[in-house]
Amino acid sequence: MKNNPSNLLIDISEIPEEGLKLDLIKSPSFFEIEEANFKITKPISIHCNITKVDDEIYLRGTISSTIEIKCSRCLQSLTLSVDPKFEITYLPLTLMPCDEEVELEKDDMDISYYSNNIVDIIFPLRDQIVLSIPIKPLCTPDCAGLCPVCGQNLNIKMCSCYKSEDIDPRLSILKELKFQE
């Protein structure tokens, strides 16, 4: 197989001694990331270098794009840039440990495996994107969220669901500030 880096499948026998540099832009659909909670809104740019030492392959670089995701408190859409750096080591599949525990430990070190002399860099890069998405994204660090009773976005305006006696302490501070004004 001739190297066809645009498919992100690399024939290791064709990696030159000085390494192989990849600078590519892929459409979000190429990675087939199907996550309900975010959308990739910009082409994904990949800059990386692949080097080979004996039968170990090293992949280093950055991948960057922009995603649209909902604030975890108020559900407004927000745009985030993601640009994780990665360092992945590929070992021949024959070296893959059978023991599950060993495998888990190795996961921490970003180790992947290859077979038939072909290194597939699609899956590790897809993981990098997914792992870089925050679990609880916030539109602003102090987003007030939605009223659990009426659903009013409390960043925009207060609602009248709370009587003064059972008011949330955070809201009562706001009320005091209003009185001072």
Among 8, 10, 12, 71, binds Zn ion (CB under 5 A): 71
Distance CA 2, CA 9 (A): 10
Q: Which two tokens stand for residue 156?
A: 């925009």
Site for Zn ion in 140-169 (CB under 5 A): 143, 147, 149-150, 152, 159, 161
CB of 36 to Zn ion, least distance (A): 19
Q: Which is nearer to Zn ion, 113 or 162 (CB)?
A: 162
Choose which of 8, 20, 63, 74 interacts with Zn ion (CB under 5 A): 74
Scan residues 7-66 and list those touching Zn ion (CB under 5 A): none
Do you know the residue count of the chain? 181
Binding site for Zn ion (CB under 5 A): 71, 73-74, 139, 143, 147, 149-150, 152, 159, 161
